[in-house]
Structure 1
Amino acid sequence: MRAAFQAWGWPVAALALVVISAWTLAQEGELGWGRKPWQNLQATVSELAQPSWLKLWFGDPARELRNEEGELLRVINEPQAEARYLAGVGRALWTTLRMATLGTVAAMLLALPLALLAARNLGAPAPLRWGAKAVLDTLRAVHTLVFGLFLVGIVGLGATAGILAIALHSAGSLGKLWAEAIEALDMAPIDAVRATGARPAQVFFLGVWPAVLPQGLSQTLYVWEFNLRDSTILGLVGAGGLGLLVSESISLFQWGRLATLLMAIVLLVTLVDATSRRLRQRLL
């Protein structure tokens, strides 16, 4: 009976949760396609298919902007205006990359002592071990955007709030990954170092650190990739970077510029993923 439940019980429970979720949301009127979804999709795709960077070559150098009465408001040079905008996008990309990098480094510094305390095989006192696990679970449970909203109210708008938000959430993930990596270590070399009368710091640097370093760095690079994706949207809550430009383009219905930003985000993430993958392959 127990074997049958293990084989079929969890799949049935998961299917039941899916069915109940869909049925209850439908009953509450939360599921729907809205009005004219196909027409809306076509219009959105059509506008996104014309990214603003094309104006560098095909823009009107003397575009006239008029109000509803037809009065001339001003004349703009679209190629020049787009060039200035793309320069701003480049600066935002650089800010986003720096936020993700510094946030990951700060997360490493916070996660390491918590991981050492949380790892069962290192013999930390039970209250400290459970306390470290509770802190890691809490940090991991709160999303980066929630931390961002909270920290913007404390340190103000800008990259500092984004870096701290990334660091706090990532510390929970890194701490859990590192603790599990430490628990999977062969304890014989570590016990041999302890048998020599080494102090805890010596045991760590001579026994634990060399063994866990390659996997730990690989996991850190993987988290760095996720942090880059998170940092691209932290600007939505005022934490700087590309997210701020994304928020502005959506608020002003500038779908061409939104398309440009999405392409920049995809390019940045692709380059970072490729770099991280190559580094991880060398570590493992």
Structure 2
Amino acid sequence: MTFTQFLTRLKGRLGFLGLALAYAAIVAVCLASFSRSDDLSLGRNPLDNLIKTGTEFVRPSFLDIWFGNTHYEYKSDDGTVLRTENRRLVETEYDKQLLIAAWVTFKIATLGSLLGALLSLPFAVFTAKNLRSPKWLSAASKMVLDISRSIHTLVFGLVLVGIVGLGPTAGILAIAFHSMGTYGKLFAESIETLDMAAIEAVRAVGASPSQTFFLAVWPNVLPQWVSSHLYIWEYNIRDSTILGIIGAGGLGLLISESVSLFQWGRLSTILLVVVLMVTVFDSLSRRIRQALL
């Protein structure tokens, strides 16, 4: 190893050490700030609350379909029976609503992801440096993608519910507008990794910009774009579960109800459905990505 190589390696390690120390300083400042304002309190009886909540979580409510009390009594403080219900029938009806809400969530994530991918395409093309778009157009496209990516789906949902009203439309648009930024960034990066020789060869024969894109760019980036689309689609299935909280449809409303009523067994059932949806979709998308390699 020459002295110059040694200095280069030492400089890189010192730079990394400096970044690590800066990160540690930021973490220390955050902890000190919270500690000074006493915002890191665990509340009253955290252990008892954890045990109580955990006990209810480990028994998902869907088990009542088979093991629920068929003559469950609701009593007042003095012991008077107010009403009775068949827990098995009640849970069966609830789980039907849960499956319908899960299907709505999947549809919102699917349509929102597709719309976001389509909206991002022109911005990705204009942002990719190797396609040599006009600087003002490239800068404007990058700004649009950065803004889209920086605003959370829930914020888009809150705004869109006020514009288009309650329902899945607001959820679809919220997913699309937020995902557009991520899609655009990933699509632009995949374009920038292309071999420019093939693109220049197509340009040399007099192809127009649109012909260059469809003949030299699109066929080469399609596998990466499909892989990116599947990944973001999977992410949006998780992300769209909270949109119902603001009235955009899906599982969010049921999550909000179970949390507000401290029905941890039902929340456990809802989360199991979400995990199952994501797991199944991840398995399918992994096989598709492997087939594209």
Per the normalisation by structure 2, the TM-score is: 0.94
- The answer for the alignment partner of 1:222 in structure 2 is 231
2:211 aligns with: 202
Structure 2 residue identity aligned to 1:194: R
Q: Which residue in the other structure is 2:115 paired with?
A: 106
Counterpart position of 1:25: 34
Residue 239 of structure 1 aligns to a residue in which SS? Answer: coil
- What residue in structure 2 maps to residue 35 of structure 1? 44
Cα distance change, pair 207–65 in 1 and its aligned pair in 2 (3 A): same
> SS at the partner of 2:170?
helix
**Is 2:98 the partner of 1:119?**
no
Aligned residue number for residue 133 of structure 1: 142
Aligned-pair Cα RMSD in Å: 1.3
CA distance in 1, matches of 2:269, 2:39: 32
CA deviations on 1:44-68 (whole Å, 9 max, x unpaired) are 0011122111111111222222333
Name the CA distance, whole Å, in 1 between partners of 2:120 and 2:42. Answer: 43
2:4 corresponds in structure 1 to none
What fraction of aligned residue pairs are identical, expressed as a percent? 52
Correspondence for 2:6: none
User: Could you list the per-position Cα deviations for residues 235-258 of structure 1 after superposition, in whole angstroms to 9, with x for gaps in the alignment?
Assistant: 122111111100011111211111
Query: 2:72 corresponds to which residue?
Result: 63
**TM norm structure 1:** 0.97
Correspondence for 2:171: 162
Q: In the alignment, which residue of structure 1 is the partner of 2:153? A: 144
- Note the C-alpha offset of 1:117: 0.6
Aligned: 1:94 with 2:95: no
Q: Structure 1 residue 275 and structure 2 residue 284: aligned?
A: yes
Q: Which whole-Å CA distance do the structure 1 matches of 2:258 and 2:78 have between them?
A: 25
Q: Partners of 1:67 and 1:187 in 2: how far apart?
A: 77
Query: Which runs of no fewer than 5 residues in structure 2 stay unpaired?
Result: 1-9
How far residue 100 of structure 1 moved from its aligned partner, in angstroms, is 0.6
Count of paired positions: 284
Give me the whole-angstrom Cα distance separating, in 2, the residues matched to 1:48 and 1:3: 48
**What is the deviation of 1:95?**
0.6
Counterpart of 1:227 in structure 2: which amino acid? N
Give the deviation of 1:73 after TM superposition: 2.7
Residue identity in the other structure for 1:49: V
Give the gaps of 5 or more residues in structure 1.
Answer: none
In the alignment, residue 68 of structure 1 is paired with which amino acid? D
Structure 1 residues 52-61 or 170-179, which shifts more? 52-61
Residue 233 (structure 1) shift: 1.3
AA paired with 2:51? Q
Distance 2:254 2:33 in 1: 37
**In structure 2, distance between residues paired with 1:4 and 1:246:** 47
**Alpha-carbon separation, structure 2, partners of 1:266 and 1:151:** 27
The residue number in structure 2 matching 1:47 is 56
User: 1:98: how far off?
Assistant: 0.6
Q: Deviation per CA, 1:220-239, whole angstroms, max 9, x where unpaired?
A: 11111110110111112211
CA distance, structure 2, for counterparts of residue 179 and residue 26 of structure 1: 42
Give 1:190's match in structure 2, choosing from 193, 199, 223: 199
Provide the residue aligned with 1:265 in structure 2: 274
Letter of the 1:97 counterpart: F
The code of the aligned residue for 1:264 comes to V
| Structure 1 residue ranges (4+ consecutive) displaced by more than 6 angstroms after TM superposition | none
